[in-house]
Amino acid sequence: MEPQKDFDANSDNKRPFQGLSAQDDAAKKNVLISYILMLVGVFTGVFWFIGAVWAMVKQSEAKGTLFEDHYKNIISTFWWGIAVTLLGLFLTFFFVGVIILFAIWVWSIFKMVKGLSRVLSNQPFSSVNE
């Protein structure tokens, strides 16, 4: 009896799944670490910074891999989050800041969960169809 082959569930032609290269696998592991740290950091604060720094340090190792744009997502989400949070903190005196802070919190969680979902499906963060 022939062993059953794994198939790529994301492919239309159901060809056997080839797996990830060693570089792709390492990039996936590091981006997963970063996403998890950032998600925990949304609730604790300090891990948000640790996750972003981890992504910044490991980004060069992911060049040319399937997961390269995940690092760009994490880093841009971090910097936009910092900038908008500072603006929101300043505007809390006018109450609109509270709304801005809540919105950036929800947006950050969405970006991290979307990225985590796509990594676990072995997909880049941005797809051609989006």
**pLDDT, mean of residues 72-76:** 93
Q: What is the pLDDT of residues 8-66, one digit of tens each?
A: 444 444 444 467 788 888 999 999 999 999 999 988 889 999 999 999 999 999 898 88
Does residue 128 surpass a pLDDT of 60? no
Does residue 130 surpass a pLDDT of 70? no
Q: Report residue 98 as tokens.
A: 């509270």
Instruction: Please report the sign of the dihedral spanned by the C-alpha atoms of residue 88, residue 104, residue 124, residue 116.
Output: positive
Q: Which ranges in the chain belong to alpha helices (H)?
A: 22-44, 46-58, 68-91, 96-120
Residues 6+ positions from 50 with CB-CB distance below 8 Å: 37, 41
Q: What is the pLDDT of residues 79-113, one digit of tens each?
A: 999 999 999 999 998 889 999 999 999 999 999 99
Look at 114 and 4; give whichever has higher pLDDT: 114
pLDDT for position 58: 92
- Residues 65 and 62: their CA atoms lie apart, in Å, by 5
pLDDT for position 9: 46
Tell how far CA 88 is from the center of its chain.
23
- Phi then psi for residue 80, to 5 deg, are -65, -40
